[in-house]
Structure 1
Amino acid sequence: MSEALGDLLDLLDLERIEEDIFRGRSRTAIVPRVFGGQVAAQALVAAGRTVPAARTPHSLHAYFLRMGDPDAPIVYTVDRIRDGRSFTTRRVVAVQHGRPVFHLSASFQTYEDGLDHQADMPPAPDPETLPTARESLPRYADRFTGPEIAERLLEARAAVDLRYAGEPPYATPGEPRAPRSQVWFRTNGKLADDPPPGAVWGDPLLHVCLATYVSDMTLLDSVLLAHGRGGWAVGDVVGASLDHAMWFHRPFRADDWLLYDQESPTSSGGRGLGQARIWTRDGRLAITVIQEGVIRVPR
Structure 2
Amino acid sequence: MNILTELLFEKEFLKKLENMAFLLKKARAGRYSGLHRSTRKGQSVEFADYRAYVAGDDFRQVDWHAYARLDKLFIKLFMEENDLSVHLLLDTSGSMALEGSLKYQLAKQLAGALGYLALVNMEQVGVIPLNSGTNRCLPLQRGRNAISRLWEFLSQLEAGGETDLNGALRQSGKYIKRPGLTIVLSDMLSSSGFEEGLKYLQHLGQQVVVLHILSPEERNPQLLGNFRLVDCETGLEKEVSITPILLRTYKEHLEVFLQSIKEFCLSREITYHTVGSDDKLEDILLRSLRGAEVLV
TM tier, smaller: under 0.3
Which of the pair is proportionally richer in strand? 1
What TM-score do the two structures reach when normalised by structure 2?
0.24
What TM-score do the two structures reach when normalised by structure 1?
0.24
Which of the pair has more CA radius of gyration? 2
Which of the pair is proportionally richer in helix? 2
